[in-house]
Amino acid sequence: MLELFIESILSLLEGPLTGIGVSPVAVLRGVELFVIVLLTVFGSYFVRRFVRTLKTRAEKTESKWDDTFFAALQGPARTLVWVVGLTFALERASVGLDIEAIFSPLRSALVIATLTWALIRFIDRVQRRMMHDPQSDDLDLTTVEAIGRLIRITVMITSGLIILQTLGFSVSGVLAFGGLGGIAVGFAAKDLLSNFFGGLMIFLDRPFGVGDWIRSPDRDIEGTVESLGWRLTTIRTFDKRPLYVPNATFLSIAVENPSRMSHRRIYETIGVRYDDANQIRPIVERVKTMLEQHPDIDASQTLMVNFNQFGPSSLDFFIYCFTKTTVWTEYHSVKEDVLLKAYDLITELGAEVAFPTQTLHLQVEPEALQAQSVQQQ
């Protein structure tokens, strides 16, 4: 039916257009391209309004996943309309030319790339929503970030292979070439691969995560983890300098994670004067009782207050206990309170805290004393 209509139009226009030297087929082709582009413009506008309407309605629902989906779909949906419309217009414009056959696989490849873009946008938005959602405090942010990266890489690799297959390339040949090339790349970039597998082990074993305070007794590494990448980990030291550590380093060093400690320890030695030796026993007993009744000390953990040694200038006893808090600033406040209360207990018993002192005994010979008295006389 459409072909008969086109033929009738061509027969009507053939006479007048031939008289002015214009081909009726060229005019009809131009009109066809104009209609395709016009439909593409209207289609893009309609799709934008349609997706925006769906997004507005989705925002009124309780579920947040539909909001994320339509927000990720806004840009790719319009791009998809333009990809289909422009490639179809180019295909119609190249009818009878040698390049006509390339537009159909090109259109398919661009459609796949646009859908991949939409899927990656959706994955990114889901990841960000899970990491910043206050209801997901029990989620491990490091694991969420690692899974998001793995899914994006998988989607991009799969999309790339499908696009190559669509364009006429042999996927099996590409994979075989990738296998041989992978061996060469492995030898040339072994450090890069070591860092990659180091990052993978961090994501799997999870010895630390973003926001944790870590340190290593083997290396001069201490600070708060800011980000975990596939090649390196960014640590912010306590003097606010960024420290970039290759992930392969963590495969060969010990790492402490003080952020996961259950308690903080107070271990202090206090010295009392030798003049107050008769008060050392009640001092130890009172300090221990004070710690057992202290609201910020966990009495269920190891709690010890014992006379320890006869020091060079003091009688030493030690305090060994654990605080309930693990927050650094709160811990020091509790420690300060414990030490001041121990000092108050010592002074209440009439004793004093010792400080380094020395007693010198001078022995004078009797002959020297007689000589000195004679000289004075």
How confident is the model over 160-192, as pLDDT tens digits?
A: 888 888 877 776 665 665 555 555 555 555 677
* Alpha helix (H) residue ranges in 167-277: 171-188, 190-205
| Angle of CA points 32, 34, 36, to nearest 5° | 70
Cα-flanking dihedrals φ and ψ of residue 197, to 5°?
A: -70, -30
The residue count for the chain: 377
DSSP 256: B
**CA dist list (Å): 362 to 155, 312, 365, 366:** 89, 19, 10, 13
Structure tokens at 306: 């014992």
Distance CA 172, CA 178 (A): 10
For residue 208, is it left (φ>0), alpha (ψ between -120 and 50) or beta? beta
Beta bridge partners of 244: 234
Higher pLDDT, 356 or 261: 261
Q: Are strands 264-272 and 315-323 parallel, antiparallel or unpaired?
A: antiparallel
DSSP 353: B
pLDDT tens-digit readout, 253-299: 899 998 889 999 999 999 999 989 999 999 999 999 999 999 999 99
Per-residue pLDDT band for 126 (boundaries 50, 70, 90) equals confident
Residue 62 burial by CB count (10 A; 0-12/13-18/19+): exposed, middle or buried? Answer: exposed
Helix (H, G, I), strand (E, B) or coil at 330: helix
Range name among 31-40, 109-118, 245-254, 289-298 with the lowest pLDDT average: 31-40
Distance CA 105, CA 144 (A): 36
pLDDT over 90 (residue 342):
yes
DSSP 6: H
Q: Around 342, how many Cα atoms within 13 Å sit in the side-chain half-sphere?
A: 25
% of the chain beyond a pLDDT of 90: 25
